[in-house]
């Protein structure tokens, strides 16, 4: 069997083993291959750790490998068949199969190749629906032993295809053949959708409720909880799976989500009756090829969950402690509302070709704020306000704040509050610059900024290395103001060899609609050379710094 490991996972495992650590790797498998797509640092002697880890993974992603400094800890388990150890500063793999252990080869592939392999061989499904669970509390804990009996006769609606998968579906077809049917019931060779949305339909077993499935568990109990669970789950299905297997995977997805909800409540003992219904959140980490699922209590704020994120999540996933990764605002939205404002408008742009040039760009997600949005005519005076809004959107979408995006008037009022402006400034069309942007960020978000002064635009190229270091270490958008114009810098392409620098610019002076093709093709978001700047004008740059929090 061929074992492939994503490069990011390979690096993290090497890093952990270099510190005499150990852990488990997760991934997907078929009869021909195993692909390792994620890693967790943990104690292999903890017999319950695999159950905890499984709760964090989508259906279809399993614990497939253990890793430690030596081969002696190889787990002889067919469900975790691979053990990885370090040999001559490189990873080697042994495999447990048919009652024996043998050496096997392991191929390291890029993260992009790993994601492409998943796309080629699997479909990612987002499963939603409402399920009522009546479940007892026995000996102080919710008893989940019979949760697996729910939904055995449920059907599932694949929304994009308007197809229903149930026990009566044609079992001869594979999953890919089933979802590739066209209106004439003919099978197409290619399906364009990477993510399919699936809705749980009524369980035919539960005739007493015509709206949602119900599972009733009735052993002797001191108390019974009536839990309305809003299912929000992910599931990977192999494209060559039979429909019977696909249906089983979907049922397992919902069953596991119910079990996870009850287990999350048990984790909140002794006061699980007041914790609120737990809710799953999904996160896409840098070196993971798929999202992970984290459950939080329904009525606890991000601040109340700090210790859990620090001591459990950041430690287990080997993540830095200086930035938020598992705050609720960091989570993926699979069903976003009809947002008007575009996000990450630079994605898909071709970087400039500089000799030994390296690209450094903003980390994470931001929204593109520009002239004429929000029914405000700020054409000719609001460019710095819009750049500030883009920066605030970055901090909001990275989980540093839950503050709303400030309006022009709120920005002006903030400057009055900090003593930067007089009261008659509010409601005017007066410009602001990088110093004012710094003051507003500090007052509203508690964010400090570095101010870079450039006496003339021709000198900006000489600051390429400093800007590259900012994007590498901080990753925040930069507001730049010069003359009568303000822009947002999203990145640089910098050559250590020649000193050449090109700038990735987001232009707030755009007045058109939210059309990504127009925005990119007309250069409202694009790479600019040194000639973009006025060579004789002075410029001030506001470089926001990440707060050290998580």
pLDDT in tens, 30-72: 888 899 999 988 888 777 777 788 889 999 999 988 888 776 5
Per-residue pLDDT of 510-532, as tens digits, reads 999 999 999 999 999 999 999 99
pLDDT in the model for residue 336: 59
Report residue 264: phi and psi, to 5°: -65, -40
Catalytic site positions: 383, 507, 509
What is the tens place of the pLDDT at every residue in 352-387? Answer: 999 999 999 999 899 999 999 998 999 999 999 999
Strand 485-495 relative to strand 501-506, pairing: antiparallel
- The label of the residue with tokens 């008893």 reads 143
pLDDT at 215: 46
Q: Please report the pLDDT score of residue 80 as a whole number.
A: 72
Under a CB-based contact definition with an 8 Å cutoff, are residues 304 and 254 in contact?
no
Minimal CA–CA distance to 293: which of 59, 79, 7, 490? Answer: 59
Q: Where are the beta strands (DSSP E) in 284-377?
A: 292-296, 357-361
Low-confidence ranges of the chain (pLDDT < 70): 71-79, 88, 140, 144-153, 171, 181-194, 202-222, 267-276, 335-339
Given this model, what pLDDT does residue 221 score? 47
Of 34, 229, 253, 224, give the one whose Cα is nearest residue 125.
253
**Residue of 260, 262, 264 lying closest to 226 (CA atoms):** 262
Q: In angstroms, rounded to a whole number, what is the distance separating the alpha carbons of residues 294 and 123? A: 21
Among all chains, which residue has been given the structure tokens 């029914």? 375
pLDDT at 72: 52
What pLDDT is attached to residue 83? 84
> What are the structural domains of the chain?
2-109 (3.40.140.10), 121-330 (no CATH), 357-544 (3.90.70.130)
Helix (H) or strand (E) holding 49: helix 49-55
Query: Which residues make beta-bridge pairs with 231?
Result: 129
Please state whether the peptide bond connecting residue 270 to the residue before it is cis, i.e. omega within 30 degrees of 0: yes
Q: What is the C-alpha to C-alpha distance for residues 426 and 412, in angstroms, rounded to an integer? A: 5
| Residues 434 and 541 sit within 8 Å (Cβ to Cβ) | yes
């Amino acid at each position: 069997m061929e074992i492939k490991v994503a490069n990011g996972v390979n690096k993290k495992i090497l890093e952990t083993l270099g510190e005499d650590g150990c852990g488990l790797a997760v991934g997907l498998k078929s009869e021909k291959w195993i692909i390792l797509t994620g890693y967790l640092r943990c104690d292999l002697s903890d017999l319950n750790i695999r159950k905890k880890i499984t709760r964090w993974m989508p259906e279809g992603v399993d614990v497939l490998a253990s890793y430690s400094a030596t081969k002696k800890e190889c787990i002889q388990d067919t469900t975790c068949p691979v053990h990885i150890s370090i040999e001559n500063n490189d990873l080697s793999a042994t495999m447990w199969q048919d009652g024996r252990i043998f050496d096997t080869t392991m191929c390291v592939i890029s993260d992009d190749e790993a994601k492409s392999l998943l796309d080629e061989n699997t479909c990612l499904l987002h499963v939603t629906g409402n399920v009522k669970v009546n479940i007892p509390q026995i000996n102080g804990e919710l008893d989940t032993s019979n949760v697996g009996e729910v939904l055995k006769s449920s059907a599932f609606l694949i929304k994009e295809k308007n197809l229903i998968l149930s026990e009566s579906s044609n079992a001869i077809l594979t999953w890919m053949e089933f979802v590739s049917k066209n209106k004439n019931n003919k099978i197409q060779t290619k399906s364009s959708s990477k993510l399919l949305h699936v809705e749980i339909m009524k369980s035919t077993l539960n005739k007493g409720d015509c709206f949602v499935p119900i599972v009733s568990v009735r052993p002797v109990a001191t108390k019974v909880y009536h839990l309305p669970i809003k299912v929000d789950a992910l599931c990977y299905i192999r494209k060559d799976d039979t429909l019977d297997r696909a249906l089983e995977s979907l049922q397992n997805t919902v069953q596991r989500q119910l079990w996870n909800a009850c287990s999350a409540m048990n984790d909140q003992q002794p006061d699980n009756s007041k914790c609120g219904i737990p809710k799953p959140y999904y996160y896409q980490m840098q070196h993971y090829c798929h999202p992970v699922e984290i459950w939080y209590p329904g009525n606890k704020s991000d601040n109340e969950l700090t210790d859990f994120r620090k001591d459990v999540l950041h430690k287990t996933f080997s993540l830095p402690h200086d930035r938020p990764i598992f705050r609720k605002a960091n989570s993926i939205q699979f069903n976003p509302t009809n947002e008007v404002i575009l996000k990450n408008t630079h994605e898909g742009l071709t970087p400039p070709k500089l000799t030994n040039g390296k690209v450094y760009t903003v980390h994470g997600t931001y929204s593109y704020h520009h002239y004429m949005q929000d029914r405000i005519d700020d054409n000719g005076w609001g460019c710095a306000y819009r750049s500030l809004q883009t920066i605030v959107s970055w901090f909001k979408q990275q989980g540093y704040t839950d503050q709303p995006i400030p309006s022009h008037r709120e920005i002006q009022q903030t400057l009055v509050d900090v003593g930067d402006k007089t009261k008659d400034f509010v409601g005017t069309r007066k410009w602001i610059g990088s110093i004012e942007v710094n003051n507003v960020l500090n007052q509203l978000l508690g964010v400090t900024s570095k101010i870079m002064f450039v006496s003339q635009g021709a000198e900006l190229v000489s600051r390429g290395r400093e800007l590259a270091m900012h994007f590498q270490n901080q990753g925040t958008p930069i507001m730049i103001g010069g003359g009568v114009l303000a822009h947002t810098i999203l990145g640089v392409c910098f050559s250590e060899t020649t000193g050449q620098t090109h700038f990735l610019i987001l232009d707030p002076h755009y007045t058109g609609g939210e059309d990504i093709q127009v925005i990119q093709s007309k250069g409202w978001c694009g790479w600019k050379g040194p000639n973009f700047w006025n060579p004789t004008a002075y410029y001030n740059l506001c470089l926001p710094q990440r707060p050290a929090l998580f």
